[in-house]
Chain A
Amino acid sequence: MAPTPSSTSSAVTLNINGEKHQLTVDHRTTLLDALRERLDLTGTKKGCDQGQCGACTVLVDGRRAVSCLNLAVAAEGREITTIEGMADGDRLHPVQQAFLDLDGYQCGYCTPGQICSAIAVIEEHAAGWPSAATEDVRPEAGPPPLTPDEIRERMSGNLCRCGAYVSIVQAVTRAAEAHEAAAVRDGDGGLSAETVKETAA
């Protein structure tokens, strides 16, 4: 049941996967619940609702974030990308394709979060961000290669209780290599998901 605007609820416009959605949200409603319960975008999963599992990962202004700790009212004005917005029509995002081909999941419940996270991991790495697995974080050390250990650390905010981590790392590795090859070919940083999509096929 949709609330009407009041002191404890607000009319907001949420920009999700390039589409604007107008709705009135109870201020208590998280972005996660707004997606799942109000907008029928159930690809974003609720695993813990406490920021402790990563299943609800989406991109907010291009960066990965847990939607369970984002309030919907505070998400107004931001560009939200969910798992439903990753494929280009029928053509899967290279990360989605790699998860499918390499069986980077089992039950599939953490999968949308893993994929959103992986897409961001590839971008973060391409942007030169170090991680806790990076031996030397000083800029003069240069960007760390995206080794399995780097991927494991960067993907650790997404729990997979089925224990599909080994194939998840393989999938991210494959997608990252494709991304890098595309970036080299395009002669730019190739940082956007758009770039990845265009070079998918």
Chain B
Amino acid sequence: MREFGYQRADDVSGAVALLAADPDARFLGGGTNLVDLMKTGVERPARLVDVRELPLDGIEETPDGGLRIGATVTNSDLAAHPEVRRRYPALAQAVLAGASGQLRNMATVGGNLLQRTRCGYFTDLSKPCNKRAPGSGCPAITGEHHNHAVLGASDHCVAVHPSDMGVALAAFDAVVGYETLEGPGRLPLADFYLPVGDTPHRETALPPGALITGVTLPPAPVAARSRYRKVRERASYAFAIGSVAAALDIEDGVVREARLAFGAVASRPWRARAAEAVLTGAPADGETFAAAADAELAAVRPLPDNGYKVTLMRNLVVAVLTELAGEAAR
């Protein structure tokens, strides 16, 4: 780890100004990902601007009945918040499915959105990686990739985004708020992550130097009946190999509204709009759920060793939607 400067920011504008003063600076939130990446040498910032103390740690109701979540709210506080659990239970479940109790106490909402892939080539300086060292190649495509992307990947990178929280946020149309020297801005989560293409090292649409200040969840009554299911290679404390955030509103056996997003299958939390289109207005039964999954998974491009993810996601979608439909019927 190289030596670096450290400053604690007192307010948002100060933080943004501090960062702008040094092109090699990074914001430090909970540090659960950044400090680890600094130890492995993937990140070598010259300066850290500590934003943990910024007054962005509140969760507030918005006038229209949504929630505004500050960027420095910890994962733990987010998952424990009664209104999050009441209005967006899948979000609480997603956060609780991530990492460990210790890490959730440290990790922030803003940092979670910006965490980097856990692809083993990305985190190993002795190996090539287009995301870490553009142009060096992607050894995962011909190497170890059983937990890599089946959707939205490219010939340059097949890494997956590791966030659980982001999957639920994607399902609920979250909007990311940020601050730059030029003033505040907003990015819907759908536009927040860039397509992989031939620039896998460029991950988000945030302007340079921007500080995430919070996430706004629009009101979504459908989310009150929602669920997050995560499959991983051990029962806890592991990244997903596939996950689903889903919400269903059913009336008279017909799906009125559906929300669906996938995790661990793409370079970003994957909003399954094709599936939602199939679901909306269709009978809430297994046939519809399977058709919805198939519609979304029509675009998959599996590699030799990750084709199981297609089966996994199809089964997960059907299982989770069936559970939600069962609850609705009760």
Binary flags per residue of B71-110, CB closer than 8 Å to A gives 1, else 0: 0000010011010011001001100110111110110000
Binary flags per residue of A108-152, CB closer than 8 Å to B gives 1, else 0: 000000000100110010011111101011111000000000001
Contact-residue bracket for chain A:
35 or more
Binary flags per residue of B213-235, CB closer than 8 Å to A gives 1, else 0: 00000000000000000000001
- Residues on the A chain within 8 Å of B251, using CB: none
Tell whether, in the assembled complex, residue B101 and residue A154 are in contact, meaning their CB atoms are under 8 Å apart.
Answer: yes
> Which residue from A71, A124, A128 sits with its C-beta under 8 Å from B35?
A71
Stretch in B3-11, B138-146, B174-182, B203-211 touching the partner: B3-11
Tell whether, in the assembled complex, residue B237 and residue A156 are in contact, meaning their CB atoms are under 8 Å apart.
Answer: yes
- Residues on the B chain within 8 Å of A158, using CB: 100
Tell whether, in the assembled complex, residue B103 and residue A157 are in contact, meaning their CB atoms are under 8 Å apart.
Answer: yes
Q: Report B110 CB to chain A, min CB distance, Å.
A: 16
Tell whether, in the assembled complex, residue A137 and residue B101 are in contact, meaning their CB atoms are under 8 Å apart.
Answer: no
Given A69-B31, A69-B36, A130-B79, decide whether A28 and B100 contact each other with a Cβ distance below 8 A: no
- Residues on the A chain within 8 Å of B237, using CB: 156-157, 159
Tell whether, in the assembled complex, residue B3 and residue A27 are in contact, meaning their CB atoms are under 8 Å apart.
Answer: yes
Tell whether, in the assembled complex, residue B101 and residue A127 are in contact, meaning their CB atoms are under 8 Å apart.
Answer: no
A136 CA to B96 CA, complexed, in Å: 12
Which of B30, B85, B89, B102 counts the most A-chain CB atoms under 10 A from its CB? B102
- Residues on the B chain within 8 Å of A69, using CB: 30-32, 35-36, 103, 106
Tell whether, in the assembled complex, residue B5 and residue A51 are in contact, meaning their CB atoms are under 8 Å apart.
Answer: no
Tell whether, in the assembled complex, residue B39 and residue A64 are in contact, meaning their CB atoms are under 8 Å apart.
Answer: no
A73 within 8 A of B: yes
A157 CA to B85 CA, complexed, in Å: 22
Tell whether, in the assembled complex, residue B102 and residue A28 are in contact, meaning their CB atoms are under 8 Å apart.
Answer: no
- Residues on the B chain within 8 Å of A30, using CB: 35
A157 CA to B98 CA, complexed, in Å: 10
A63 CA to B5 CA, complexed, in Å: 27
Tell whether, in the assembled complex, residue A132 and residue B236 are in contact, meaning their CB atoms are under 8 Å apart.
Answer: yes
Q: Report A111 CB to chain B, min CB distance, Å.
A: 15
Tell whether, in the assembled complex, residue B3 and residue A157 are in contact, meaning their CB atoms are under 8 Å apart.
Answer: no
Tell whether, in the assembled complex, residue A66 and residue B106 are in contact, meaning their CB atoms are under 8 Å apart.
Answer: yes
> How many CB-defined contacts (below 8 Å) exist between A and B?
117
- Residues on the A chain within 8 Å of B97, using CB: 132
B1 within 8 A of A: yes
A144 CA to B52 CA, complexed, in Å: 30
Tell whether, in the assembled complex, residue B101 and residue A74 are in contact, meaning their CB atoms are under 8 Å apart.
Answer: no
Tell whether, in the assembled complex, residue B35 and residue A64 are in contact, meaning their CB atoms are under 8 Å apart.
Answer: no
Tell whether, in the assembled complex, residue B48 and residue A137 are in contact, meaning their CB atoms are under 8 Å apart.
Answer: no
- Residues on the B chain within 8 Å of A167, using CB: none
Which of B5, B30, B31, B101 counts the most A-chain CB atoms under 10 A from its CB? B101
Tell whether, in the assembled complex, residue B3 and residue A28 are in contact, meaning their CB atoms are under 8 Å apart.
Answer: yes
A87 CA to B307 CA, complexed, in Å: 52
> Which residue from B80, B99, B103 sits with its C-beta under 8 Å from A130?
B80
Q: Report B295 CB to chain A, min CB distance, Å.
A: 29
Q: Report A45 CB to chain B, min CB distance, Å.
A: 13
Given A66-B102, A74-B6, A154-B101, decide whether A137 and B236 contact each other with a Cβ distance below 8 A: no
* B-contacting residues, A28-63, CB 8 Å: 28, 30, 49-51, 54, 57, 60, 63
B57 within 8 A of A: no
Q: Report A64 CB to chain B, min CB distance, Å.
A: 5
A153 within 8 A of B: yes
A54 CA to B39 CA, complexed, in Å: 17
Tell whether, in the assembled complex, residue A65 and residue B89 are in contact, meaning their CB atoms are under 8 Å apart.
Answer: no
> Which residue from B6, B80, B96 sits with its C-beta under 8 Å from A127?
B80
What are 26 inter-chain pairs, A to B, with CB distance below 8 A? A7-B5, A8-B4, A27-B48, A28-B1, A28-B3, A50-B40, A51-B36, A63-B76, A64-B102, A69-B36, A71-B6, A117-B102, A124-B101, A128-B80, A130-B85, A130-B92, A130-B96, A134-B96, A137-B93, A137-B96, A138-B86, A140-B86, A153-B235, A156-B237, A157-B102, A157-B103
Given contacts A27-B5, A69-B31, 19 further A-B contacts (CB under 8 A): A27-B6, A50-B36, A51-B36, A54-B100, A57-B102, A63-B105, A65-B105, A66-B103, A70-B106, A128-B80, A132-B93, A137-B93, A138-B86, A139-B85, A152-B236, A153-B235, A156-B100, A156-B235, A157-B100
